[in-house]
Homo-oligomer: A and B are copies of this chain.
């Protein structure tokens, strides 16, 4: 069990100084060709790799981007990470990922840990609990210490920083419009409680679409779900014997659960009831019937977020003071869970 070899050890073995070794490895002309070759051969032999920790300490930057997401078992977030990694790797940055598990405390801990040396900047989607608590001191502090933060998807209006979002309301409107356009009129919505920003926005989009069609909003057709993990019973009760011809679900799980429940209740999707979801994940794609949905283009979000962050990291201080919000277009992906034509 050898230890990692350092400059000092090489220097000692070769009976030269540490600086000579360092320079030789960098092919500095200061060092004679002879010595350079000797050092490099030795370094290769012992598989010398500079210690990143020491470098980070010295350079006061880590060339690492920290990504903190609420749930790692969530397809959308992982596609975002894919986008981040793509850009980061191109620009010579590494990416480290932490999950907050939707816990405020874990979000704080992770952020502080990464902020105290491990990363130069952050790409962050806040935990559900954080949105509920409205406690953003950890994010403020991080920014105050000069580390740029880019918020995405679940953002916080009160925080001034770069942001990458989709137009949730517009996406929801598009979804609802699609249902309307194929002739549905009695459209239920399965959404989250209001403190989840994206849920609320999507609900708004739904309402806006209805109004544009002069359809009266009906409280009885709106279900706000708190406990996502046990939504089946709730959705089942809600949908039972309800006179509807379409369901708009603000996420994938609600959508497939609705499909399942309707199926059990003897309704046929999409003939009796059309279903449209949000987020183009594995479930939507492989479900039977496959689900019409709104794609959030997660990878794009990641790409844009990473670009914003790296711009800030590498920009001269002049540009540093302005913040941008990038809005990613959503798109409708038509599949089998909605009717094709007007009846």
Chain A interfacial positions (CB closer than 8 Å to B): 1-4, 47, 49-57, 62, 64, 72-73, 75, 78-79, 81-82, 85, 89, 94-99, 101, 106, 110, 112-113, 115-118, 141, 144-146, 253, 256-257, 259-260, 263, 282-283, 286-288, 317, 320
B72 touches A82 (CB 8 A): yes
User: A286: which of B53, B106, B260 is its contact (CB, 8 Å)?
Assistant: B260
CB-defined contacts of A1 to chain B, threshold 8 Å: 144, 146, 317, 320
CB-defined contacts of A82 to chain B, threshold 8 Å: 72-73, 101
CB-defined contacts of A106 to chain B, threshold 8 Å: 89
CB-defined contacts of A283 to chain B, threshold 8 Å: 282-283, 286
CB-defined contacts of A116 to chain B, threshold 8 Å: 4, 49-53
CB distance from A92 to the nearest CB of B (A): 11
CB distance from A63 to the nearest CB of B (A): 9
CB-defined contacts of A89 to chain B, threshold 8 Å: 106
A85 to B68, CA, bound (A): 14
A85 to B259, CA, bound (A): 34
A288 with B286, Cβ < 8 A, contacts A73-B79, A117-B56, A145-B3 known: no
CB-defined contacts of A57 to chain B, threshold 8 Å: 51, 53-54, 57
What 10 A-B pairs come out closest when comparing CB atoms? A53-B117, A52-B117, A96-B96, A73-B78, A97-B97, A52-B116, A72-B78, A4-B145, A256-B286, A49-B116
Known interface pairs A47-B141, A52-B116, A287-B287; 13 further A-B residue pairs with C-beta atoms within 8 A, sorted by A's residue number: A1-B146, A4-B146, A54-B117, A72-B78, A73-B75, A73-B82, A78-B78, A96-B96, A118-B118, A256-B286, A260-B286, A282-B282, A282-B283
A2 touches B144 (CB 8 A): yes
Pick from A96, A99, A146 the residue with the most CB of B within 10 Å.
A96
List 22 contacting pairs A-B, 8 Å CB cutoff, sorted by A: A1-B317, A2-B145, A47-B145, A49-B112, A50-B116, A52-B116, A53-B62, A53-B118, A54-B117, A55-B117, A56-B117, A72-B97, A73-B78, A73-B282, A82-B101, A85-B99, A85-B101, A95-B98, A97-B97, A97-B98, A260-B286, A283-B286
User: A99: which of B81, B118, B146, B259 is its contact (CB, 8 Å)?
Assistant: B81
CB-defined contacts of A53 to chain B, threshold 8 Å: 53, 56-57, 62, 116-118
CB distance from A265 to the nearest CB of B (A): 13
A78 to B146, CA, bound (A): 32
CB distance from A80 to the nearest CB of B (A): 10
Instruction: Give the nearest-CB partner of A74 in chain B.
Output: B78
